[in-house]
Every structure is written in C-alpha cells, then in structure tokens.
Amino acid sequence: MRWRPVLLTVGGGALYGICNHVLGAISLPGSAVITVRPQILFPQLVGLLGGPWAGLLAGGFGNLLGDILNGHGGTYWNWCIANGMLGGMTGWLRFRAGQTISTIAAFSRFFLALLGIHTIALLFACTTHFAIFSGTTLRETLLDWCLPAILSNVLLTFLLLPAVLLVLKYLQPTLEVGLGLLMLYVLVGCMVAAGVTGAAALTWTMGNASELRAVDAETLVRLRERVTLDLFRITGAAALLLVVVGFFASLRIAYAILTPIRSIMKAVDGLRRGEPWRRETLDPVASRQDELGTMARLLQDMGDQVRDRETELTRQLEVLRREADSKEVHRRVAEIAESDYFKSLQAQAAELRRKRHESR
C-alpha cells in the first residue's frame, strides 16, 4: 500500500510526540534529566513496519513535537536527530534481518543489533549536547545522561518489543525463538527485581541510619538520588551484560538441543517421502545417552524394520508379478487355442499332412 509508510510516519510520530509530552514528568529514579520512556517503541515499530525513512521521520518528528508541547521548541535538535536515527536504523535492520525471525541465531542478532542502535543514537545525542550546550563535564554527560538513557531505553525495548513482534508475526513462535524469549525475560526480570529491591532497601537504610539524621533534608535528597542512580547504573549494566551473555549461552543451548532434533526430523521426513533409509545418518545422535539418543535409537530400529518390510514386500510383489505374468501367458494361449482361427489353422495343417501322406 503506497500510503502505508506515510500514515505510519504521521500517526506514529504524533503518538510519540504526545506520549513524550504526557509521560515527560516520569523521571528515572535518581535522575532529573532522564525520563522513563516506554513510548520509545513507537519510532522503532514505525521503522519495522514502514521502512527506514518512515522510522527516521517518525522518530525525529515525534521528538520535535514533544519538545514543542513541553515548551522547548526546536532547541534540542540533536535529540530529534538521535530519535530519528533510532527509528531509521531499526527499519534498516528489518530489511537486513529479513521478513521474519524464526531461529535463535536471528533472534540474538536482532536484539544485539537493537542494543547497538540505541547506543549509537544516544551517544550521538549526549556528545553533541555536551559539545553544543555544555553545562556538564564529559564524564557527567556519559555517566549521568548517556548510560542511564541507554539502559532504560534498551531494557524497556527488550521487555515490550518482543510481545508486539509476536502479535505482528515478525517473531515466529518456534522452539528456538521461545527459548530466546524465555532467556531474555528471565534475565531482565531478575535484574529489574534486583534493582527495585536494592532501591527499596537503600531507601529504608537511609531513612533509618542514625549517621544521616544530622544531615539536612536537601543534602539527604541529593545523596539518595545519587546513590539510586549509581544503583540503577550498576544493576542496569549488569542486566545488559547478562542479556548479552545469555544470548550467546542460548545459542549454545539451542545448538545442543535443536541440532539432534533437526537430524531426527530429517530422517523421519526421508522415511515419509520414501527415500532410501540410511541408518548411519543418526549415529551421532544415537550415541548420546539422553532422551534424544534413545529417540534416535528407536527411530533407527523403526527405520530398519520399515526397510526390511519394504524389501520383503518388494520381493513378494515381484513373485506375484511373475505368477501373474505366467497365468496371463497361459490364459492367452488358451484363448488362442480356443479361437476359430486357430482351429481353422489346425484343420488346414491336418489336411496338408493327410495329402502329403496320400501322395507317398
């Protein structure tokens, strides 16, 4: 549909801008400048559904609209470009990765690439903000702005995007993808729970620490925000590290589990299509001492039985064919012998023999 990218760009950008305005007051714990933005999915989805240009325009236009509604106008144009980069590169990733994701390898590549896209876009926004607007040191820009923004955006994307992609059928509900999703949600969920628990424990400790009772309220608030932000950075970075490690671990697990399953499926499909049975193709799986090895050995026995029965049936069919051919020959001979033409030939032959005998 020709108008689909246009509609996605306008609609997605408008929703993104409105959500930026409405949810702009939800700041990341411990940070006054970084907000929690689940709406970050909009430019990425527009890019996935409408292509790179649609994602680029939706991200840039949506961020600009949100800034205008918040009273900033076009001051922070670098963040508009960064949001456009996020949507555009995600759309480009869709065309590079293919129309659907059905394997754990493709799943891992896709989400690791999303991590890289978020990192590139936010590094651009934060470094240009430091270079143009200054007001902070480079260290503060990277640690207090860039890193928390990357962590929050990536964690929200990893939590929300897979469910949407399953509904859109971009993620196929295969065993491999299910394994990747399970790993992703378990790791991120555990780290989010650890972060929330740590923040709650920190709040309780600081509220009950006798050493801090003499500190004035304003200093205590700043200290709590600083420690909370540090805690978020640590837990968030640990979560992303575990997710990355988990992707590679899931690849290994999927390879160990799914490779023998594919071998078994290939052997069963060969039996179904009547291909020559080769028992040795399952030897690597049959040598295992687990359930998959047992399944492969049972399949080998079944394949041998099918092959033997097929051989016996072929032999019996050949015997029946020969018997049928012999009976057919006898039947045709009998038909010829009983025909009037054959009887006429017999009479003529007898007459010739009689005349030859008389001539002697």
DSSP letter at 209 equals -
75 vs 330, higher pLDDT: 75
Higher-confidence residue of 25 and 304: namely 304
pLDDT digits (tens, 9 = 90+) for 302-360: 888 877 877 777 777 777 777 776 776 666 766 666 766 656 666 666 666 666 666 65
pLDDT score for 121? 92
What is the token pair recorded at 78?
Answer: 């670098």
Measured CA to CA in angstroms, residue 332 lies from 62, 339, 349 at distances of: 90, 11, 21
Using a pLDDT cut of 90, give the percent of the chain over it: 9
281 pLDDT band, cuts 50/70/90, is confident
Name every residue whose Cβ is closer than 8 Å to that of residue 60 and which is 6 or more positions away in sequence. Answer: 13, 80, 81, 83, 84, 87
Tens digits of per-residue pLDDT, 105-132?
A: 788 888 888 989 998 998 898 888 888 8
Backbone torsion region of residue 98, taken as left when φ is above 0, otherwise alpha when ψ lies between -120 and 50, otherwise beta: left
Q: Collapse the DSSP code of 248 into the 3-class scheme (helix H, G, I; strand E, B; otherwise coil) and give the result.
A: helix
Does residue 240 contact residue 151 with C-beta atoms inside 8 Å? yes
Name, in order, each residue with C-beta under 8 angstroms of 57's C-beta and a sequence gap of 6 or more: 9, 13, 84, 87
Residue 11 φ then ψ, to 5° = -65, -45
266: pLDDT confidence band, cut at 50, 70 and 90? confident
Segment of 84-93, 130-139, 223-232 carrying the highest mean pLDDT: 84-93
| Each residue's pLDDT tens digit, 133-171 | 766 777 777 777 787 788 888 888 888 888 898 888 888
pTM for the complete prediction? 0.69
pLDDT of residue 43: 92
